[in-house]
Chains A and B, each alone.
Chain A
Amino acid sequence: MKTIEHVEKANRIEKTIIKLDPENDQEIIVWGLMHICSHWLNAALHYMGLTEWYWDINHTSFLDSHPDKKNFYSKIDKEFRDSLNKMLTIENIRDPYVRGRADWEPCIIEKAFEAYRFIKGISKNAIAI
């Protein structure tokens, strides 16, 4: 999708997530944060010309199938690498806590929110919104 479409989708999902209760709705909060971050990352990547508007990443693992993987990794700066690592943090929470059996702890949801704030901040700066 185009940069602006990603931003609109991220903002819509964000409105849903902030209505939910971090103590009782963790699964959907984390799932939503994952989508929000994925949209922000795609928006920034398209804006910076690092990926085409028709080539979106749904998960960080998708980057391995980037048509020009070698050049892509050499072009991204440290801040963006850190953003991708933060995305990985959310993806790693998803498996045990949404798909799996792990019991929720407040620090886990805070970790997901912290990753989301970081990704949104970096991506927003990159596309100057």
Chain B
Amino acid sequence: MKPYLHIRRAKRIEATLKKLDIEDDYEMVIEACMLALTHYYIAALHAEGVTLLDPPHSVSVDYFNTKPSLELQNATKTLSFIEEIRKPHLRGQIKNTNRDQSGHITMLTNTYTPQAPPYDHSVVDKCLKYFEEGKIKFINIIGDAAMQPEWLI
């Protein structure tokens, strides 16, 4: 899908996001951030020529023809954060961690504990902050590719 089409879809989702309450609707706040940011992310991937395909998640690196720029890799961290928090808050899957004796996380595992954490204002706040931050970074990378060709108007 062309970058401007991803941006059009992202803007529609953002318009819905603005209608949601940060606490009452926090599950869909997280999902709207993830979906809209994924569209910006994919548009940035296309703009850099990393892939012409539309990977559904930031971990889908098998879609890539070339390596994304450091700028794009850095921006992708904001999306990765949102992708991680949606698992416990939407699906009730808390990622298991290995900790050292003092309780510090030493490793994230690929297994999950089935439990939905309660609403956490700081998490949703961080999600919205990362969304805004990621969006600006992706838009900078997309640049002129965001423009809809005149002959398509």
Contacts and interface: CB of A to CB of B under 8 A. Distances in A.
Interface of A: 1-2, 5-6, 9, 12-13, 15-17, 19-20, 24-25, 27-28, 31-32, 35, 38, 53-54, 56, 58, 98-101
A58 B91 contact: yes
Contacts of B116: 1, 5, 9
A105 to B, nearest CB: 15
A65 B138 CA distance: 35
29 contacts: A1-B92, A1-B116, A5-B115, A5-B116, A12-B27, A13-B27, A15-B24, A15-B25, A16-B20, A16-B24, A16-B25, A24-B16, A25-B15, A25-B16, A27-B16, A28-B16, A28-B17, A28-B31, A31-B28, A32-B27, A32-B28, A35-B27, A35-B31, A56-B93, A56-B114, A100-B1, A100-B54, A101-B1, A101-B9
B114 to A, nearest CB: 5
A100 B12 CA distance: 13
A1 B115 contact: yes
Main secondary structure of the interface of B (DSSP, over half): helix
A53 B115 CA distance: 10
Contact of A27 (B9, B20, B91, B92): B9
Contacts of A5: 92, 115-116
Interface string B20-54: 10001101100110010010000000000000001
Contacts of A98: 9, 35
The 9 closest A-B pairs by CB, nearest first: A1-B92, A16-B25, A25-B16, A28-B16, A16-B28, A54-B114, A1-B114, A101-B5, A27-B13
B105 interface: no
Contact of A24 (B1, B15, B92): B15
